[in-house]
Structure 1
Amino acid sequence: MKKIGTIILLLISINIFEQNLSECGIDNNPKLTQTESEFLTEYMNDEQRKNFDFTNKKVIFITGNSAQQLGTKSEYFDKIKEWNKNGNKIATWIVKLNENERKISGGYDVIITYWVKNLTKKRKRKIITEIKASR
């Protein structure tokens, strides 16, 4: 009987996870919604998210091996949805911005990378200045 309860709880939590994911990335506003914040907290492990609180945060999305391409929130969540269909996760990490970097970028709090192998300090500085110029 205990196993049945555990299975039911697991199925319910998977359904909630899927439902939350369907509500993520429906726009390209860099500020995360509450649902997106909650989803990312569950999606990323502690090492990936470094205990970062995504609530009401403004995010820069970066992709490509060397972090050479600005992404969008909808593209990011579309990749998650695509990989999630097969029970997989995308390679994703966060890079917190310090106070000065937030100011230079125009108020962004964090960079979320996906499919990035290497984000150098030089590239990070360039991203921060590029994002201000493009927004």
Structure 2
Amino acid sequence: LAVRHRLPGFAQRFEPLARRISAVLFVLVMAGAIYAERANITTYFAQAGAITLTLNIAMMAIAFYGAAWLGLLRPQRIAIALECGLQNGTLAIAVAATLFQDTLYAIPAAIYSLMMFGTALAFVFLVTRGRPAAV
């Protein structure tokens, strides 16, 4: 925010590169976590998959219908639901692994991170019925 405020031209030019860098870092973190736990990944999904999926869908539904209850327009409701569903999984993994000094605590965050993109895509398809949304 400070860079955008003080150097708006630079911030605008750097934004596409920053997005690519963050996407690559996310993929690397997720790939590393999956590789490190490759022998246990199916067990982890069995243990944490249902609850993380339930949490993700519940939060998106609460956000969507809560925004509707507040009288927000459909595009705003969709954006808020996506913001609630697409959380910063990489940060959650890093905090859990660092704070507790054990990757075991990062498992729910990692499972959530893997699932959140699928639920977001399903949500977008559901609310747009496969048509581009007017924003």
Q: Same fold (TM over 0.5)?
A: no
Radius of gyration: which is bigger? Answer: 2
User: Which TM-score applies when normalising by structure 2?
Assistant: 0.32
Report the TM-score, using the length of structure 1 for normalisation. Answer: 0.32
Structure with greater strand share of residues: 1
